[in-house]
Amino acid sequence: MRDILEALAAGELSVEAAQAELQGYARNAGGRFDAARHTRAGVPEVILGDGKTPAEVASLAATALETTGRVIATRVTQAQTTAVRVRLANESPDTTLRWDDRSSVLVAHGPDFERPRLDATVGVVTAGTSDAVPAGEAVAIAGEMGARIYRVDDIGVASIARLLDQLEELRTVDVLIVAAGREGALPTVVAGLVDVPVIGLPVSTGYGHGGEGEAALSGMLQSCTALSVVNVDAGFTAGAQAGLIARRIDAAGKRT
């Protein structure tokens, strides 16, 4: 503790960075940022854009960069992204920032940040192009946790030949995230054909009875194959679970 206080007094640590070191989180105008989450739980802290103003997202992003060296924000709008870009450009001009407007995920790295690299591959599969939004969120999270990503899009069961064409590659990954809307059949089919863990990601596509992901979620929960399921559109959760599995596989490989 004394080292932290001396660094604060010498101007080598900001107040937010010192608070994060001492308490595990830093408080600012946007809320509390859990700077210790990655160390404590293996999953990086993520800023959720929903319900926050651009200024609040920018404030939390600045704290994230200051305390962890990186920013991950999900479900962010263009206005929120612009606010973050302006704030970080002023405070840390060497920061690299990218925003994927399809998945609405923003990732920024400070100049000294080194993303972890795991010797494990997460496969991310979508049934259709409409499933790309939560799948992109899962890709971002698992990738930021250090996993290699193998992605295959638009191989739904309406034309199962598209899946069979990719089957040999899918069998080589360490864990699979399979995103599907409508009746959500693809994760069940995939899980019956591969010998790796499969995480079903129901998506709020589809319409009519059981629309907005309800039928997809119910179908995956009732799957007769060995399948884990996250909530509707929960790309972050699917990516985090796959990333944790990848971490264990990487660690096991280093022990042998």
Q: Which of 136, 149, 142, 144 is nearest to 245 (CA)?
A: 142
Helix or strand holding residue 19 (H, E): helix 15-23
The domain in which residue 196 lies consists of 121-255
What are 178's strand-pairing partners? 125, 200
* Domain end position, chosen among 79, 109, 139: 109
CB contact burial 135-164 (16+ within 10 A = b; e otherwise):
bbbbbbbbbbbbbbbbbbbebbbeeeeebe
**What percentage of the chain carries pLDDT values higher than 90?**
75
Same domain, 138 and 249: yes
The total of structural domains in the chain comes to 2
Instruction: Give me the pLDDT at residue 38, please.
Output: 86
CA distance 4 to 155: 52
Instruction: Give me the pLDDT at residue 37, please.
Output: 87
Residue 116 lies in a domain: no
Give residue 150's identity as a one-letter amino acid code: Y
pLDDT bin (cut points 50, 70, 90) of residue 25 is low
Q: Are 227 and 188 in contact (CB under 8 A)?
A: yes
Same domain, 33 and 95: yes
Instruction: Give me the pLDDT at residue 137, please.
Output: 97
User: E strands along 4-104, which residues?
Assistant: 26-28, 31-33, 47-48, 70-74, 96-100
For the stretch 29-50, pLDDT in tens is 667 788 888 888 899 999 999 9
231 vs 10, residue with greater confidence: 231
Give residue 28's identity as a one-letter amino acid code: N
Q: Are 181 and 203 in contact (CB under 8 A)?
A: yes
CB atoms within 10 A of CB 168: 8
Same domain, 91 and 177: no
Same domain, 129 and 236: yes
Measured in degrees and rounded to the nearest 5, phi and psi for residue 123 equal -90, 135
Kindly tell me if the per-residue pLDDT of 79 is higher than 90. Answer: yes
